[in-house]
């Protein structure tokens, strides 16, 4: 029995699924050898089976009937690679109910319905594996869930969204505007037609929620932490960061501070000489800190056809061998809740970069410094260049950018100060704020 091929149903035949089919149907001797058995793709369920595809499958494999494909009693494992949270949820729950192990690359599904999916799997005695759901080809789910078992993880700092990172890298490296790069990324197919989840930080936040569960056994909801996207960044922010010796990355952070969990996803200034600051393009990186292992860094392709397929196949081999089935019941997946509490956002202390657009009038800096001072926010540095912007206020004053770097302060103080600052007549636009990593 152990040597019979594992029988598979694949849901979807998009980019990642095509990559998986390629690995399993090309010269797959290394995979079968490591799995100790072969793989037999029984069904590939798609919405439109008549659509031309560049993947060749045996006759009868392609089907539009996902329900039959998922419940075929012959099938051992269902690979959910269709995406979305509606049919995907239904299909995954149906597969579990039919006693199939499930492999998925769908972080949105797990972030939104993880509780339901994992509970159902535990009840049925099957496993749900999801290496491909976080950071594409980087084996971070296994690393956190299985390879650092002797550690208490103390912090995670990561770049988890390839689209955002591509946009930021292009802006910083080639001094292009946000809109310009986004349009190109969409034309190239890097960014979705609707890139909202990528650029507003939701995708990175969903992955951080999953990683935090695995690393710390703590269930956190997206509403419990600050999530800021990259869509308000201007080219001038990249230039100021560069001038100050930093680079800006959409950083997802979870760390234990005084027994509480500090979490946030925000564009963040990172010292330019750090590896994480130099992680460009579609690459992802995860910096972990464990009490025994110390700092550990993994970086690699965070998305893309073959890297993500690599992660899916790793899960498949784990199921073929039986490792995934042993691992799953012991993972901290919505099963119990850690005693750690999530730090209220307003209590989080960070250093900040603040970029203002101010009217070029006397006393502006004094007014701003006064408000910050009353909120006990002390200033580390101020940059104001001579070159005025072309815009002008109604009164005819030129508008100039002003950048302030603060010392550590709380989110609460910063919010109070920002509210007051934005009411100053000389402050002509919303203030751009980003934390500065230590």
Whether residue 81 contacts residue 312, with contact meaning beta carbons closer than 8 Å, is answered with yes
Residue 261 binds its own copies, judged by CB under 8 A: no
Minimal distance, residue 216 CB to its own copies, in Å: 9
Shortest reach from residue 317's CB to its own copies, in Å? 4
Please check whether residue 129 is in contact with residue 324, taking contact to mean a CB–CB distance below 8 angstroms. yes
* Identity of the residue, 30 or 396, whose beta carbon is nearer to its own copies in the bound complex: 30
Task: Say if residue 179 is exposed, middle or buried (CB neighbours under 10 Å; 0-12, 13-18, 19+).
Answer: exposed
Least distance to its own copies from the beta carbon of 331, Å? 8
The correct pick among 1, 30, 56, 366 for binding its own copies (CB under 8 A) is 30
Report 285-304 residues binding its own copies (CB under 8 A). 290-301, 304
Catalytic residue among 107, 207, 249, 357: 207
Tell whether residue 83 is a contact of its own copies (CB under 8 A). no
The smaller minimum CB distance to its own copies, of residues 32 and 85, is found at 32
| Binding residues for its own copies restricted to 390-419, rule: CB under 8 A | none
In sequence order, which residues have a C-beta less than 8 Å from that of residue 411 and are 6 or more positions away?
226, 345, 346, 347, 348, 350
**DSSP states of 234-292 as a string?**
-HHHHHHHHHHTEEEEEEEEEEEETTEEEEEEEEEEEETTSTTTT--TTEEEEEEEETT
Q: For the chain, give the longest Cα–Cα distance.
A: 83
Q: How far is the CB of 86 from its own copies (least distance, A)?
A: 29
3-state secondary structure of 351: strand
Cα separation values, 233 from 101, 168, 238, 279, Å: 43, 9, 8, 18
Element (H, E) at 314: helix 305-321
Residue selected from 21, 110, 133, 142 as contacting its own copies according to rule CB under 8 A:
142
311 and 106 in contact (C-beta within 8 Å)? no
From CA 172, how far away is CA 412, in angstroms rounded? 30
For its own copies, the binding residue among 79, 230, 248, 309 (CB under 8 A) is 309
207 given a catalytic annotation = yes
Q: Which of 6, 17, 31, 436 lies at the binding interface for its own copies (CB under 8 A)? A: 31
**Six token digits for residue 400:** 């100039």
The answer to whether 255 contacts its own copies (rule: CB under 8 A) is no
Q: Could you tell me which residues come within 8 angstroms of residue 58 by beta carbon, excluding any fewer than 6 positions away?
A: none
Angle at 424 (CA atoms; ends 380, 416), nearest 5 degrees: 60
CA distance linking residue 83 with residue 17, whole number of Å: 11
Should residue 14 be labelled a site residue for its own copies when binding is judged by CB under 8 A? no
The interface mask with its own copies, positions 84-123, x = CB under 8 A, is: ----------------------------------------
Q: Which is nearer to its own copies, 37 or 415 (CB)?
A: 37
Place of tokens 């089907």: 63
Considering only the stretches 136-144, 154-162, 195-203, 260-268, report the one whose residues sit in contact with its own copies under the rule CB under 8 A: 136-144
> Can you tell me the distance from the alpha carbon of 212 to that of 64, in angstroms, rounded to the nearest whole number?
36
Question: Of residues 105, 138, 157, 437, which one binds its own copies by CB under 8 A?
Answer: 138
Q: Residue 323, interface with its own copies (CB under 8 A)?
A: yes
Q: Quick check: 60 binds its own copies (CB under 8 A)? A: no
Closer to its own copies by Cβ: residue 44 or 233? 44
Question: Of the candidates 13, 17, 23, 159, which one interacts with its own copies according to CB under 8 A?
Answer: 23
Q: Which residues bind its own copies (CB under 8 A)?
A: 19, 23, 30-31, 33-36, 131, 137-139, 142-143, 146-152, 273, 275, 278, 290-301, 304, 306-307, 309-314, 316-318, 321-323, 326-327, 329-330, 332
Give me the active site residues, please.
Answer: 207
């Amino acid at each position: 029995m152990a040597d019979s091929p594992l029988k598979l149903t694949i849901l979807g035949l998009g980019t990642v699924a095509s990559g998986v089919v390629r690995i399993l149907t090309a010269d797959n001797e290394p995979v079968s050898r490591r799995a100790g058995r072969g793989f037999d793709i029984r069904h590939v369920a798609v919405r439109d089976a008549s659509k031309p595809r560049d993947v060749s499958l045996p006759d009868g494999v392609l089907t539009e009937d996902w329900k039959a494909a998922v419940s075929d009693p012959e099938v051992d494992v269902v690979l959910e690679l269709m995406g979305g949270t509606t049919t995907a949820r239904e299909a995954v729950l149906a597969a579990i109910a039919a006693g199939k192990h499930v492999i998925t690359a769908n972080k949105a599904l797990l972030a939104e319905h993880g509780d339901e999916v994992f509970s159902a799997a535990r009840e049925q005695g099957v496993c749900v594996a999801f290496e491909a759901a976080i950071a594409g080809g980087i084996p971070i789910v296994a690393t956190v869930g299985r390879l650092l078992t002797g550690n208490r993880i103390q912090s995670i700092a990561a770049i988890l969204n390839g689209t955002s990172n591509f946009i930021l890298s292009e802006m910083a490296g080639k001094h292009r505007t946000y809109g310009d790069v986004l349009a190109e990324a969409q034309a190239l197919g890097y960014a979705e037609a609707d890139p909202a989840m990528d650029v507003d930080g939701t995708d990175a936040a969903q992955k951080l929620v999953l990683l935090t569960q695995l690393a710390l056994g703590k269930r956190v909801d997206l509403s419990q932490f600050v999530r800021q996207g990259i869509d308000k960044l201007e080219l001038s922010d990249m230039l100021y960061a560069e001038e100050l010796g930093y680079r800006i990355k959409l950083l997802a952070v979870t760390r234990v501070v005084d027994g509480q969990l500090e979490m946030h996803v925000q564009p963040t200034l990172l010292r330019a000489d750090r590896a994480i600051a130099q992680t460009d393009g579609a690459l992802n990186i995860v910096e972990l800190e464990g009490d025994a292992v110390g700092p550990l860094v993994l970086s690699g392709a965070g998305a893309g056809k073959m890297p993500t397929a690599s992660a899916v196949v790793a899960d498949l081999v784990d199921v073929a061998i039986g490792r995934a089935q042993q691992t799953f019941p012991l993972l901290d997946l919505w099963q119990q809740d850690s005693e750690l509490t999530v730090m209220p956002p307003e209590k989080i202390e960070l250093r900040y970069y603040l970029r203002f657009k101010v009217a070029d009038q006397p006393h502006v800096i004094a007014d701003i410094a006064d408000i910050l001072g009353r909120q006990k926010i002390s200033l580390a540095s101020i940059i104001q260049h001579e070159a005025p912007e072309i815009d002008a206020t109604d009164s005819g004053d030129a508008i100039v950018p002003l950048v302030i770097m603060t010392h550590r302060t709380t989110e609460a103080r910063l919010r109070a100060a920002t509210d007051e600052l934005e009411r100053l007549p000389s402050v002509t636009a919303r203030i751009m704020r980003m934390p500065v990593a230590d």
